[in-house]
């Protein structure tokens, strides 16, 4: 009870600081992005994109310092199996528990690999300031259609394919890490039950976005970074983070080779290839589910 007034003050103050930091870095970011929009020349893009990414890295660096101040000496464990290179191209796949995941991933990988570019829901472009920043940094905005909508109008599926291809073509110009949450949504007990998920700690993975990214850029990706996030004291909300009560975080990062035979297939039109791709992702998810259980038991 005694922490409640303090939590409110700390959460409010830290949120204001986060917002001010965002506005500070987004001002030059959006100014340069406007120049890139008005002069869509490949040569100019190659010069501006590294500058935009450097501004974003500074922004993330300040956010990471903000997290360190909030969390104090709480445990933050990161195990990396493989080499991380800031000048490479990566496909990054991770389980999804909370909005806090994005802060955790950015803090973990900032300046260790190229900046993470997330697949985002189309509606997020309207988030004040940050939505425009994501647009400026070429984050792909995807329209999430229900299965009923796709059955009624199959052309909607092609819209997301074209969006992914266009984004990946831009990513090919500058070292990039393409980030994907294969579950497509945050894990909750209700969603887990509704799916009747075969995994203890995960929702069923969706292979479509991964398959499209591999089809568009598979020969350029140097590796798949298979990331597992576990919150050892329970899944935190953003407000938990802002109030400094996020608890312990454990991450495991495993660098995996990308099977060459999964790069050039037609996921949408070839049923046999689609089944093979889903089986490969299912094996990764089985390993991830087992790893989460081990990480929790070792806490």
Look up residue 189 and give its two tokens. 């007990």
> CA 10, 21, 71 angle in degrees (round to 5)?
40
pLDDT at position 273 is 93
Question: Which residues are paired to 142 by β-bridges?
Answer: 121
Burial (0-12, 13-18, 19+ Cβ within 10 Å), 9: exposed
Look up residue 17 and give its two tokens. 């600081």
Examine the pLDDT at 272 and tell me if it is beyond 70. Answer: yes
Q: What is the mean pLDDT of residues 6-30?
A: 92
If residue 253 lies in a helix (H) or strand (E), which one and from where to where?
strand 249-256
Q: Write out pLDDT tens, residues 122-172.
A: 787 788 888 888 888 888 777 665 566 667 776 666 676 776 777 777 777
Examine the pLDDT at 253 and tell me if it is beyond 70. Answer: yes
Q: Write out pLDDT tens, residues 186-208.
A: 999 999 999 999 999 999 999 98
Cα–Cα distance for residue pair 158/207, rounded to 1 Å:
15
pLDDT at position 148 is 67
Examine the pLDDT at 1 and tell me if it is beyond 50. Answer: no
> β-pairing, 223-231 with 249-256?
antiparallel
**Residue of 228, 279, 221 whose CA lies nearest to 253:** 228
Q: What is the mean pLDDT of residues 243-256?
A: 94
Cβ partners under 8 Å of residue 47, min gap 6: none
Centre a 10 Å sphere on the Cβ of residue 134 and count the other Cβ atoms it contains.
19
**Residue of 163, 217, 174 whose CA lies nearest to 44:** 174
pLDDT at position 215 is 84
Q: What is the mean pLDDT of residues 60-64?
A: 95
Domain residues for the domain of 102 are: 3-298
Hey, what's the torsion of the CAs at 281, 183, 211, 49, to 10 degrees? -130
Look up residue 183 and give its two tokens. 């579950």
pLDDT at position 27 is 92
Name the average pLDDT for the chain: 88
**Residue of 223, 219, 220, 206 whose CA lies nearest to 261:** 219
Q: What is the mean pLDDT of residues 75-96?
A: 92
* Count: domains in the chain: 1
Q: Which of 31-35, 190-194, 254-258, 285-289 has the lowest mean pLDDT?
A: 31-35
CB-based contact 84:116 (threshold 8 Å): no
Cβ partners under 8 Å of residue 139, min gap 6: 117, 118, 119, 120, 167
Q: What is the mean pLDDT of residues 169-184?
A: 85
Helix, coil or strand: residue 57: helix
Q: Is the dihedral of CA 37, 163, 276, 198 positive or negative?
A: positive
Cα–Cα distance for residue pair 187/202, rounded to 1 Å:
7
**Residue of 165, 188, 157 whose CA lies nearest to 95:** 188
Examine the pLDDT at 65 and tell me if it is beyond 60. Answer: yes
pLDDT at position 95 is 97
CATH, residue 243: 3.40.1130
Cα–Cα distance for residue pair 146/75, rounded to 1 Å:
40
Helix, coil or strand: residue 78: strand
User: What residue has token string 């101040």?
Assistant: 69
Examine the pLDDT at 2 and tell me if it is beyond 50. Answer: no
Centre a 10 Å sphere on the Cβ of residue 8 and count the other Cβ atoms it contains.
12
pTM assigned to the model:
0.89
């Amino acid at each position: 009870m005694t922490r409640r007034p303090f939590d409110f003050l700390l959460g409010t103050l830290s949120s204001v600081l986060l917002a001010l930091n965002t506005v500070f870095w987004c001002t030059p970011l959006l100014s340069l992005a406007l120049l890139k929009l008005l002069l869509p020349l490949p040569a100019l893009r190659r010069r501006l994109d590294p500058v935009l990414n450097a501004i974003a890295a500074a922004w993330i660096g300040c956010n990471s310092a903000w997290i360190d101040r909030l969390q104090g000496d709480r445990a933050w464990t990161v195990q990396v199996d493989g080499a991380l290179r800031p000048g490479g191209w990566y496909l990054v796949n991770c389980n999804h528990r909370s909005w806090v995941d994005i802060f955790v991933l950015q803090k973990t990988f900032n300046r260790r690999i190229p900046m993470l570019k997330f697949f985002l829901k189309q509606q997020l472009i309207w988030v004040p300031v940050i939505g425009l920043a994501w647009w400026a940094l070429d984050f792909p905005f995807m329209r999430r259609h229900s299965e009923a909508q796709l059955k009624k109008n199959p052309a909607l599926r092609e819209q997301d394919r074209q969006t992914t291809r266009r984004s990946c073509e831009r990513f090919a110009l500058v070292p990039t890490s393409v980030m994907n949450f294969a579950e497509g949504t945050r894990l909750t007990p209700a969603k887990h039950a509704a799916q009747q998920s075969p995994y203890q700690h995960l929702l069923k993975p969706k292979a479509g976005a991964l398959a499209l990214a591999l089809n568009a850029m598979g020969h350029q990706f140097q590796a798949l970074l298979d990331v597992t996030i576990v919150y050892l004291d329970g899944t935190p909300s953003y407000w938990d983070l802002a109030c400094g009560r996020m608890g312990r975080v454990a991450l495991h990062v495993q660098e995996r080779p990308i099977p060459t035979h999964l790069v050039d297939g037609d996921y949408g039109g070839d049923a046999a290839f689609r089944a093979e791709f889903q089986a490969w992702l299912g094996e990764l998810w089985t390993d991830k589910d087992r790893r989460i259980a081990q990480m929790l038991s070792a806490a």
